[in-house]
Amino acid sequence: MNKVIKGTIAAGAAVALFGGGAGSLAYWQASESTDELTLQMGHVQLMEGAKTYYLNGDEMSYETLNSYDSRLVPGDVVTYNHRFGIDVATGADTVLNVAELEFEDTPQFVLDALETDLTVSVVEEWSENLTFSATNEARSFNVSGRGLVEVTVKVAVPADHADSETMVYGISLKPLPVTLTQVAEPLPDAVG
């Protein structure tokens, strides 16, 4: 085939392809877009706060409380407060749990002579939607919102305690784990 015919066929094909030749269709078109979408993830946050120590109502440092000059005698009450900030997204079913008091290297007969108490309470609300309610599980609380809770441990030597054998032993309280855990649904409320 000669070059002129080949060139004419190629030029005709190019016009048909690029020039909207016969048989091509044109469609109307309009476009819009969706809005930008930013979502906030929920959160469960537990923050350690202030610690305070008291002996018979007088605030003191841990070093003073643990010194030789502050040895416990019958009638003494030690109070330890530890605050924790909680920040839980609304709608995130979350449980705050405080472990049971546990002592180590302390003979049972010494523990039997002591009176101990553990309480957990809200001391400051950081948001209007703070909820904090005891559940049917010991030391567990359904929580949401933002606030400050306080774990209080009291150890008392009864005033009528006369067993001199307990005088030579120390009392060693293990650290209490405090956890904030999201759950599938709130725990049942405490009864009674």
User: Which has the minimum average pLDDT: 8-17, 51-60, 91-100?
Assistant: 8-17
In a domain, 116, yes or no: yes
| Per-residue pLDDT reduced to its tens digit, 158-179 | 888 777 777 767 888 999 999 9
In a domain, 36, yes or no: no
In a domain, 24, yes or no: no
Q: Summarize the confidence of residues 123-144 as an average pLDDT.
A: 92
- Compute the mean pLDDT over every residue in the chain, rounded to the nearest whole number: 86
E strands present in 58-186: 58-60, 77-88, 94-98, 115-125, 131-134, 140-156, 178-182
How many domains would you assign to the chain? Answer: 1
Q: Which two tokens stand for residue 53?
A: 């120590």
In a domain, 92, yes or no: yes
Q: Which domain holds residue 146?
A: 44-182
**pLDDT of 44 strictly over 90:** no
CB atoms within 10 A of CB 90: 12
| Cβ pair 190, 140 in contact under 8 A | no
The predicted structure's pLDDT at residue 24: 65
3-state secondary structure of 62: helix
In a domain, 3, yes or no: no
In a domain, 69, yes or no: yes
pLDDT grade for 9, boundaries at 50, 70 and 90: low
In a domain, 114, yes or no: yes
Check residues 15 and 41 and name the one with the higher pLDDT.
41
| Per-residue pLDDT reduced to its tens digit, 13-38 | 555 555 555 556 788 989 998 889 88
CA atoms of 105 and 89, how far apart (whole Å): 41
